[in-house]
Structure 1
Amino acid sequence: MVRAWYTDASWLNVLNPLGHLYEQLGRWRRSRIEKHQWHAPVPVIVVGNINVGGTGKSPLVIWLVEQLKSLGFSPGVVSRGYGGVAAEYPLEVTESVDAKHCGDEPLMIAKRSLVPVAVDPDRIAAVGHLLDQHDCDVVISDDGLQHYRLFRDVEIAVVDGQRGLGNGRCLPAGPLRESAERLEEVDFIVSNGEPGDGLPYDSVLMNLEPLSFVNIDTGERVDVDQSRFEHAHAVAGIANPTRFFEALRKLGIQIEEHPFADHHQFESGDLRFEGALPVIMTEKDAVKCGHLDIDLSALWYLEVTARLPDSFLESVVDKIGIHPPLTMASNDD
């Protein structure tokens, strides 16, 4: 189905009436919910998308957290916790929490950003938890563009530059949760990679830059420029595995591809391959593999960082409407 969405297969035309119905029901739902929005006492930045599946939201969330921290803000992150089921909510995500309970992306964000992260299908409850338990002055919602009960001060929609909006239709006729016109309403559109013809709107370019390979067992880090990997198994349980495989090839590594479904819960057998080649996976996949009964010393993940224009950060800070704490402190001096 996904392949059909992004190649505009003609047989999808029979689903157009259902796609139109889905779009109209979404508009009705939004208009009803927005009448009862909850306004948090601190600015809320929503990083989401209109496509089904991943587009690169989490790297952007991590980048925003790092940049806001550098300006003196105390950000926190909320998420639905997709792929995880907790005994009770809200659940605060720490390094010791199992991804089965919180989801892989929130755990990755918590490990990388070292800021408070809370998951709850009810984003309002998650925000409330952060504000009760931590001194957060800005909240970033990882996903949640369609969670309209939570008022947002800034909306950022992320689009996969390679795949764009597919055939531009709503579910089930296409990959969209809302019509493409929804992008005209958000504050910023960020393209993960150079946008193609499938994105008919102006966007901010985000590139994911490989930094290092990190060993899952020992934590050893090897700079990508000093990589000793020539041939490896490449494992990716993400929405667009091809992007990850291409990144490894650009680093000069011959790979054996092993794509899995997005948010796949790995078992030991998934990573047992013939031969003695190392296994390289995404950071999102790695947070789910530390407990597996295999030789973890052979498992590595590729750490990447997002690169965006400085002007984009300045625009986001202007939009949230509060002065950066470090700027205020320097002015006081």
Structure 2
Amino acid sequence: MIERLWSGRSALYVLLLPLSWLYGLISTLIRLSYTLGWRKAWRAPVPVVIVGNLTAGGNGKTPVAIWLVQALQQRGLRPGVVSRGYGGKADHYPLVLNDQTSTRQAGDEPVLIYQRTGAPVAVSPVRKEAVQALLEGGEVDVIITDDGLQHYALARDFEIVVVDGQRRFGNGWWLPAGPMRESASRLKSVDAVIANGGNAQPGELPMQLRPGLAANLITGETVPLNELENVVAMAGIGHPPRFFAMLRQQGVVPVREVPFADHQDYTQPQLASLVSAGEILLMTEKDAVKARHFAADNWWYLPVDAQLPQAESDALLNRIVALQVKKLLTR
């Protein structure tokens, strides 16, 4: 239902417009309060790069954050990542992740980023506190925030917005009548726009999510995706149909496709009930970080990587590296 409302395929969204106008007013006033100096944003001593979006969920933001961290690491920088930790509940904040941190404590996306990149990661509803926790460790010289475009209490040096290249901005209305957190005009003030799939608009960097080898949750064995048979596909991400479509594009036609809510927590009986004898359960890597500790031997996941054009991505990375150099020179 919500997908039909937000895409404009149902006129029932008009019933929610009064709430959307209120959301838009509050959102605009919050940003204006920082822009005009009525409220002060905290500025870190190292560059802060936002990887965020204008719409609610499912744009490919986390793969972009992983790509950015790994690319900066290859250039000799020491990025750290901060996140709100949505879906997790820690005993205390800020929480700096380690090998024992669970998704129930930190949320699925921070744990995924930590496992994929090895970069320091901290979560807190107050992102300033998460940044400070990483700085106290003394091992970071640039901060990447996974989401947080609308968290104006944290000053930023570079803003990247990830756009779903197919769905774009739906009906264009603010939440809850539409998917927008801020209006599309906000793109004019950001430093880079990355379009995930679809057709990139002028000035946007095109990106594709490329699947890797399928990996077994228990053994770590990897095989080409097309070697898996009798696949039951599941996805608890912002837009599950994208994962299912990717499988079909790779020649894998699932016997069943099971969508879950984004950030949903799972139980072993719940997932085990999805497959019968002789079937394979195939999930996203984001799901796998929540299910690995109770997985069965016929459970597999498919990692994906963000791929951007070399020249354009190099230019973007060079701008971020230049920010870090500038910060060092002005200390």
Tell me if both proteins adopt one fold, taking TM over 0.5 as the criterion.
Answer: yes
- Secondary structure of the 2:322 match is coil
Cα deviation digits, residues 206-259 of structure 1 (max 9, x gap): 1011111111101111234xx421320101001111111111112222201011
Contact 1:2 1:175 in 2 (8 A): no
Contact 1:212 1:221 in 2 (8 A): yes
From 66, 77, 81, the counterpart of 1:77:
81
Give runs of aligned pairs for residues 4-43 of structure 1, distance below 5 A: 4-34=5-35, 35=37, 36-43=40-47
**Alignment correspondent of 2:240:** 241
2:258 aligned with 1:258: yes
Distance (whole Å) between structure 1 residues aligned to residue 291 and residue 64 of structure 2: 23
- Secondary structure of the 1:115 match is coil
**Alignment correspondent of 1:185:** 189
Distance (whole Å) between structure 2 residues aligned to residue 165 and residue 143 of structure 1: 17
2:159 aligned with 1:155: yes
Distance (whole Å) between structure 1 residues aligned to residue 148 and residue 96 of structure 2: 18
- Secondary structure of the 2:195 match is strand
**Alignment correspondent of 1:289:** 291
Identity, % of aligned positions: 44
Deviates more, 1:212-221 or 1:2-11: 2-11
Distance (whole Å) between structure 1 residues aligned to residue 243 and residue 230 of structure 2: 15
Give runs of aligned pairs for residues 1-333 of structure 1, distance below 5 A: 1-34=2-35, 35=37, 36-195=40-199, 202-224=203-225, 227-255=226-254, 256-272=256-272, 273-292=275-294, 296-320=296-320, 322=322
Q: What CA RMSD, in Å, does the superposition of the two structures yield over aligned residues?
A: 1.8
Cα deviation digits, residues 38-66 of structure 1 (max 9, x gap): 11111111000010122111100110111
Aligned length: 318
Distance (whole Å) between structure 1 residues aligned to residue 234 and residue 116 of structure 2: 20
Distance (whole Å) between structure 2 residues aligned to residue 204 and residue 219 of structure 1: 33
Cα deviation digits, residues 278-317 of structure 1 (max 9, x gap): 111000000000222x5x2111100111101223333333
Contact 2:21 2:174 in 1 (8 A): yes
Cα deviation digits, residues 125-165 of structure 1 (max 9, x gap): 11111111132111100000000011111100111122110
**Alignment correspondent of 1:328:** none
Cα deviation digits, residues 75-132 of structure 1 (max 9, x gap): 1100000000000011111232110010000000000001101011111111111111
Distance (whole Å) between structure 2 residues aligned to residue 321 and residue 59 of structure 1: 20
Unaligned 5+ segments in structure 2 are 326-331
Cα deviation digits, residues 166-214 of structure 1 (max 9, x gap): 0011112211011111111111111111237xxx664111101111111
Residues 171/324 of structure 1: CA separation in 2 closer, same or farther (3 Å cut): closer
Distance (whole Å) between structure 1 residues aligned to residue 311 and residue 42 of structure 2: 30
Distance (whole Å) between structure 2 residues aligned to residue 123 and residue 302 of structure 1: 30
Residues 72/167 of structure 1: CA separation in 2 closer, same or farther (3 Å cut): same
Q: TM-score, normalised by structure 2?
A: 0.91
Unaligned 5+ segments in structure 1 are 326-333
Contact 1:164 1:195 in 2 (8 A): no
State the one-letter code of the partner of 1:159.
V
Residues 151/252 of structure 1: CA separation in 2 closer, same or farther (3 Å cut): same
Distance (whole Å) between structure 2 residues aligned to residue 281 and residue 288 of structure 1: 11
Distance (whole Å) between structure 2 residues aligned to residue 33 and residue 185 of structure 1: 14
Contact 1:160 1:193 in 2 (8 A): yes
